[in-house]
Homo-oligomer: A and B are copies of this chain.
Amino acid sequence: MAENQSNANGSLKKYDEHVPEIKFTKLFINGEFVDSVKGRTFETIDPRNGQVTARVAEGDKEDVDLAVEAARHAFDDGPWPRMPGYQRGRIMSKFADLIEENIDELAALDTIDAGKLFSICKVLDIPQAATLLRYYAGAADKIHGEVLKMSRELHGYTLQEPVGVVGHIIPWNFPTTMFFMKVAPALAAGCTMVVKPAEQTPLSALFYAHLAKKAGVPDGVINVVTGFGSTAGAAISSHMDIDMVSFTGSTEVGRVVMQAAATSNLKHVSLELGGKSPLIVFDDADLEAATDLALTGILFNKGEICVAGSRVYVQERIYEEFEKKLVAKAKDWSVGDPFDPNVHQGPQADKKQFEKILSYIEHGKREGATLLTGGERVGTEGYYIQPTIFTDVKEDNMIVKDEIFGPVMSLMKFKTVEEAIKRANDTRYGLAAGILTKNIDLANTVSRSIRAGVIWINCYFAFDNDCPYGGYKMSGFGRDLGLDGLHKYLHVKSVVTPIYNSPWL
């Protein structure tokens, strides 16, 4: 059998019984599932075999208008922003419970939509979404303003008020995680929202909308408009009655979103964009753990993660052994049907991504990079690609500069700490970075020297609900997760009154 292959084609038939019944295919507006105004639908494709799974309602500007109307009414006049934070928290907790009761079905939807590993969705993605909801549920009644220390006889304080109607534009790589990363804090803040899931992965979002209503989220608070970026997405970024747009996706589309916000109503914008994150392995690192981490860093979710450790720098003393170990592990990494519990890597999310990654791989070969392993597709059906490692490349090679968003690593050697820092920072991106060393001084120096929003020391992908997450430079601005994620959906209002005969200021 070819390297990495795990019956990628022969075994597809075995998993058909895992494919769930698709229950929700319409837009969710003001608490109801409705067809789009124009009556259009679009196909959603299973990346395991390239086949059409379902047809889903396709929303456009008119549908976004209806959704915003519902969200505006729910915000200006509905109960959600007005109820105590505790009550919002109770409803969000019920929502979390309902998610846990439907884990298998939700995980299966993300598997057939995005090619994600079923077993990982079941134990990680979906349960984490529930914990994230509960984290913000518990924060909803602890939203504090401050009393200020004025410099004359004034009483001044700040209120943190919900921003209003929020537009969430979410990507296809983590349909569940991304949905809740945005929806959960906005709900806790008392905002109402219009969610536009990626066109590649519309299914689980619609199920979540159904569960939200079941949990008691009032009509109009969460609206889901599935559709395309240039139509539904653009309608959101440029809407005159949306107060804020929160976008996760590519840097190119991030620009378009920000421009649309500027030319429309100057809505608040938060962008979580691409990355080309470096993993720096110092020569005191344990080779077993380091190679495992580096491989997971690029292959987790088939490389379709904004913080993928796509540039791996290894200190020269341990380079040869590291390269040998890593390549052997990469060759062993099994690629196949994501329902197969023994498989490490499913198919890329769609044909476009598949072709884009292969074209970057070809470019790498043409640029004269050395291909250590992989570099080809797996099988003849679906969008499977071999774990791929290039070496003999530098920061000006295209495959080292651009975000490939696939299972393709650039492996490089370095001598000194100063060199590693310089090269790690030689990128327009600044999302994350990994540092592998036990030396405390190295860890402190290098963590402060890398211009990135998240630094993982002796770990990678170590996300946590309480840990703010977001980029420097062209990886975007604004933070998700943590209380920073909550504050993003809150306005600061200052209230000032004179005081008289006060003992002190």
Residues of A within 8 A of B (CB): 131, 148-152, 154, 156, 158-159, 161, 243, 251, 254-256, 258-259, 261-263, 265-266, 268, 271, 273, 428, 443, 447-448, 452-459, 462, 464-470, 472-474, 476-477, 479, 482, 484, 491-498
The answer on a CB contact under 8 Å between B254 and A467 is: no
Contact status A159-B273, CB under 8 Å: no
Known: A243-B473, A454-B495. 14 other contacts (CB 8 A): A148-B464, A148-B466, A149-B466, A255-B262, A258-B261, A258-B262, A258-B266, A265-B428, A266-B273, A452-B493, A454-B493, A456-B496, A459-B497, A467-B494
**A375 to B434 alpha-carbon distance, docked (Å):** 66
Q: Tell me the bound Cα distance from A474 to B493 in angstroms.
A: 15
Q: Name the contact of A259 in the complex, choosing from B152, B263, B447, B479 (C-beta under 8 A).
A: B263
Is the pair A447, B498 in contact by a Cβ cutoff of 8 Å? Answer: no
- The answer to whether B266 touches A443, judged by C-beta atoms less than 8 angstroms apart, is no
C-alpha spacing A476/B269, complex, angstroms: 11
* CB pair A152 B464 closer than 8 Å: yes
Is chain A's binding surface mostly helix, strand, loop or mixed?
Answer: mixed
Contact B492 A470 (CB under 8 A): yes
Neighbouring B residues of A456 by C-beta, 8 Å:
496-497
**Chain B residue at smallest Cβ distance from A257:** B262
Q: How far is the CA of A464 from the CA of B150 in the complex (A)?
A: 6
Residues in B with CB closer than 8 Å to A255 are 262-263, 266
Question: Which of A251, A258, A496 is the most central at the interface, judged by chain B CB atoms within 10 Å of its CB?
Answer: A496
Q: Could you tell me the distance between the alpha carbons of A258 and B131 in the complex, rounded to whole angstroms? A: 36
- A496's contact among B454, B465, B479, by CB below 8 Å, is which? B454
Task: Say whether A455 contacts B496, CB under 8 Å.
Answer: yes
CA distance A502 to B240 in the complex (A): 51
A466-B149, A494-B469 are known contacts. Are A459 and B154 too (CB-CB below 8 A)? yes
Q: Judging by beta carbons under 8 Å apart, are A466 and B258 in contact?
A: no
Could you list 27 examples of A-B contacts with CB < 8 Å? A150-B464, A154-B459, A154-B464, A255-B263, A256-B262, A258-B258, A258-B259, A259-B259, A265-B428, A266-B273, A266-B474, A443-B497, A447-B495, A452-B493, A453-B492, A453-B493, A454-B493, A455-B494, A457-B496, A458-B498, A459-B498, A462-B496, A462-B498, A467-B494, A467-B496, A469-B494, A484-B492
